[in-house]
Structure 1
Amino acid sequence: MYWLSTKKAKIIMLLPTLMIYAVFIIVPVFIACYYSFTDYSGLGKASFVGIKNYVAMFHDKLFLIALKNTFLVLLFSVIFLIVGSFMAALLMNKNFHGNAFFKMVIFAPYVIAPIIIGIIWGYILNPNYGLVNSVLRKIGLDMLAIEWIGGTKWSPLSLAIVFTWQVLGFHGTIFLSGIKAIPGDIYEACDIDGANLLQRLFYVTIPMLKETFIINIVLVVTGVFKIYELVYQMTGGGPTHQSELLTSYMYFTVFTSRRYGYGMAIAVAILLLSILGSFSYIKITTRKQRS
């Protein structure tokens, strides 16, 4: 079996995966970039218009609303999701009765199709007949029965909460893997030195999980820029596109308005924002570690 470890054999085994990746990922990105510089409408010939589509984004009120909503969801998700998944990982790392059941329950939403999650939470958060507002009205807290979805104010927060609930178990599992990788000798040394629980957490666990935090935050950033099904099923982008995120607005522009060129420009902008956000965070974090 020596031949399997040769460079030629490795290249041959990698070729099918690389070809599939190139055909379904790399090539479509270049095609989208090309059409973003055209006025293509799905029919006829695409005419080159330069950076007209990119300039139009800065004058498109609906795009700016979607951009604002996306950054609000990103901010809320980073805060809720990173803190929540880290705390869940600390709990999953404890030995207690029902630990396996807890792990199953917290990870289960991640394996449910996002469109199904959108349907479930759409009924729960519906401002008229949803479970949350119905319970609040039953117990006399009508003032708290707000327009969770479909409005202009609370929809980004609701989308962030649902997204956090959906992927909490996945990110918690990543944190748990990082915690398991910390040598037990370090915690034994902490016990000998008399360190309490909070000191162990802030001076040992969190500093040694810096790489894990980077991975999770990058995954959250890229995940938020891919949210579509939740918006489609929970709010439909309404009212009048006030609850759109960038991905859902891009879909509307391409497949409903038939402005393929402009929609591809939005898609490229989403890709660039995702890359810029991820690499900026990595660069800042690694620079702090070196200093």
Structure 2
Amino acid sequence: MIWLSSRWRIAVMVLPAVVLFTLFFAYPVLYGVGYSLTDAQGFSAPRLIGLDNYAALGDDPFFWLSLKNTVIILVVSVAFLVPASFALALLMQQRIRAAGALRALLFGPAIVAPILVGLVWVFILDPRVGLLNRLLVPLGIPEIQWIGGDSLTPYSIALVFSWASIGFAMTIFYAGLQQLPDDVMEASSLDGATRWQQLLHVTVPMMRETIGIVSILLVTNVFKIFELVYMLTGGGPVHRSETLVSYMYFVTFTSQRYGAGMAIAVVVLVLGALTSLVYLALARRGRSA
């Protein structure tokens, strides 16, 4: 392995990854940032306008509404998914019948295309023809605007996102639990620790890295939600159920205001990166404490 010590050989091995990263991430990001500084519309030649598109977002009520909806979906989804998927992983680790089939069943929604997930849930949550209201109305409960209303839509989107993602998060937690050393658990049992104490003081601290990975993946996936919104509500009525990505799509491709749309895309990128960096910083501080 002496040849690996040569710097130019190492550079040759790293070069393909650098090229792919540049072509499919760095270049599109820089191109989008550059476009966000122009007034590009339709087929007209773009003109440099500086930060005007970003300033206009501050006066756009639909942008702030889409940001609010995204934050609601983010908080509700992560607050539910992390403990729920961890609990399911702990359950799947027990010796129960058909555990493999249950894991496959729970993971199933994660491999279904989001557009199909949204289509399925339309027939459940639609206020007029949805299954949920048809079950509630005979019980004397009036029709509820699960989707398309003023208040419940982001929570319904969070519900659908959680249903589609819980198996994926559970699988990562389950893999992490399989890597825990048995001797540590046995030692804690010999010391008289109960199962609840083992969970709080042994399992959770040792799973901190996995919890961080799952949380970051969930956050980034929430910032990419588009198909669910498109199928459930189309962003309506009057953009009340838009998320940042769905509103970016409307501004860019429906309104053909490409510069303004790229400004929203840059905001989404920055928010996602900042959220992940803040969580990593807090996790690193917790490990060093």
Residue 226 (1) aligns with residue 224 (2):
yes
Q: Deviations over 1:94-119 (max 9, x none)?
A: 12111011000000111100101010
Aligned to 1:216: 214
Structure 2 counterpart SS, 1:186: helix
Code of the residue aligned with 1:68 in structure 2: it is: K
Code of the residue aligned with 2:193 in structure 1: it is: A
Code of the residue aligned with 1:207 in structure 2: it is: P
Structure 1 counterpart SS, 2:62: helix
Aligned counterparts, 1:17-32, within 5 A: 17-32=17-32
User: What is the alpha-carbon distance in structure 2 between the residues aligned to residue 7 and residue 172 of structure 1?
Assistant: 41
User: What is the alpha-carbon distance in structure 1 between the residues aligned to residue 268 and residue 280 of structure 2?
Assistant: 18
Structure 2 counterpart SS, 1:271: helix
Code of the residue aligned with 1:116 in structure 2: it is: L
TM-score (normalised: structure 1): 0.94
Residue 35 (1) aligns with residue 35 (2):
yes
User: What is the alpha-carbon distance in structure 1 between the residues aligned to residue 12 and residue 148 of structure 2?
Assistant: 51
From the superposition, tell whether residues 158 and 288 of structure 1 become closer, same or farther in structure 2 (CA, over 3 Å): same
**Which deviates further from its counterpart, 281-290 or 49-58?**
281-290
Structure 1 counterpart SS, 2:237: coil
Code of the residue aligned with 1:142 in structure 2: it is: I
Q: Deviations over 1:175-197 (max 9, x none)?
A: 11211111111111122122222
Cα shift at 1:276: 0.5
Aligned to 2:190: 192
User: What is the alpha-carbon distance in structure 1 between the residues aligned to residue 5 and residue 221 of structure 2?
Assistant: 36
Aligned to 1:281: 279
Aligned to 1:150: 148
CA RMSD of aligned residues (A): 1.7
From the superposition, tell whether residues 102 and 10 of structure 1 become closer, same or farther in structure 2 (CA, over 3 Å): farther
From the superposition, tell whether residues 59 and 196 of structure 1 become closer, same or farther in structure 2 (CA, over 3 Å): same
From the superposition, tell whether residues 146 and 6 of structure 1 become closer, same or farther in structure 2 (CA, over 3 Å): farther
Aligned to 1:136: 136
Structure 2 counterpart SS, 1:142: coil
Residue 242 (1) aligns with residue 240 (2):
yes
Aligned to 1:64: 64
Cα shift at 1:284: 1.6
The ranges of structure 1 where at least 4 consecutive aligned residues each deviate by more than 2 angstroms after the TM superposition are 1-21
Residue 259 (1) aligns with residue 218 (2):
no
User: What is the alpha-carbon distance in structure 2 between the residues aligned to residue 159 and residue 130 of structure 1?
Assistant: 15
Q: Where does structure 2 lack aligned partners over 5 or more consecutive residues?
A: none
Aligned to 2:159: 161
Structure 1 counterpart SS, 2:128: coil
User: What is the alpha-carbon distance in structure 1 between the residues aligned to residue 2 and residue 67 of structure 2?
Assistant: 54
Q: Deviations over 1:65-109 (max 9, x none)?
A: 000000000000111111111111111111211101100000011
Cα shift at 1:24: 2.0
User: What is the alpha-carbon distance in structure 1 between the residues aligned to residue 17 and residue 251 of structure 2?
Assistant: 32
User: What is the alpha-carbon distance in structure 2 between the residues aligned to residue 134 and residue 118 of structure 1?
Assistant: 19
Q: Deviations over 1:128-154 (max 9, x none)?
A: 11111111123x1424x4111111211
User: What is the alpha-carbon distance in structure 2 between the residues aligned to residue 175 and residue 45 of structure 1?
Assistant: 50
Q: Where does structure 1 lack aligned partners over 5 or more consecutive residues?
A: none
Code of the residue aligned with 1:29 in structure 2: it is: V
User: What is the alpha-carbon distance in structure 2 between the residues aligned to residue 5 and residue 136 of structure 1?
Assistant: 69
Aligned-residue sequence identity (percent) comes to 44
**Which deviates further from its counterpart, 126-135 or 250-259?**
126-135
Structure 2 counterpart SS, 1:213: helix
Aligned counterparts, 1:41-190, within 5 A: 41-138=41-138, 140-143=139-142, 145-190=143-188
User: What is the alpha-carbon distance in structure 1 between the residues aligned to residue 39 and residue 254 of structure 2?
Assistant: 15
Cα shift at 1:260: 0.5
Code of the residue aligned with 1:20 in structure 2: it is: L
